């Protein structure tokens, strides 16, 4: 899988510990090597991982080599970005997006209010 700088890779084996058990919100990028928009999103997520490190953990999961987690969250398209808070998915976004829009969408989801 293509490495995204500053973004850890998780697998079916360690997803629950790394994502659901994390002490802060986690943004998971469901990705694949053959996915062009996933590559477009890589620098955006690298920047997010660096700038938001104090309040957000950013990881990626390869859908081709991790079918269990991909199926558990019914991921049908790449890239899918899913934000987990307290072990639960609180929002899901499909497709590449500019950093400004991603930050805005995450800010809304990270506010301390019940998930929609």
Please write the tens of the pLDDT for every residue from 13-69. Answer: 999 999 999 999 999 999 999 999 999 999 999 999 999 999 899 999 999 999 999
Mean pLDDT, all residues of the chain: 92
How does residue 1 score in pLDDT terms, banded at 50, 70 and 90? low
Choice among 7, 38, 45, 59 that is catalytic: 38
Each residue of 84-113: b (16+ CB within 10 Å) or e?
bbeeebbbebeebbeeeebbeebeebbeee
35 is catalytic: yes
Catalogue all structural domains in the chain, each as residue range(s) with its CATH number. Answer: 8-110 (3.40.30.10)
Choice among 7, 19, 28, 35 that is catalytic: 35
Q: Which two tokens stand for residue 48?
A: 């997010």
What percentage of the chain has pLDDT greater than the value 70? 93
38 is catalytic: yes
Give the global pTM.
0.92
CB 109 within 8 A of CB 55: no
Strand positions, DSSP E, the chain? 8-9, 26-31, 57-62, 80-85, 88-94
């Amino acid at each position: 899988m293509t490495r995204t700088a500053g973004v850890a890779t998780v697998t079916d084996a360690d997803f629950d510990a790394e994502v659901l058990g994390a002490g802060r919100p986690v943004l998971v990028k469901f990705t694949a090597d053959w996915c062009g928009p996933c590559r477009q999103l890589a620098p955006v997520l690298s920047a997010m991982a660096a700038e938001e490190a104090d309040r957000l953990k950013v990881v990626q999961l390869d859908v081709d080599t991790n079918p269990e987690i991909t199926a558990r969250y019914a991921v049908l398209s790449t890239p899918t970005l899913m934000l987990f808070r307290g072990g639960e998915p609180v929002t899901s976004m499909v497709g590449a997006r500019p950093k400004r829009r991603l930050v805005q969408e995450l800010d809304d989801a990270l506010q301390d209010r019940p998930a929609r």
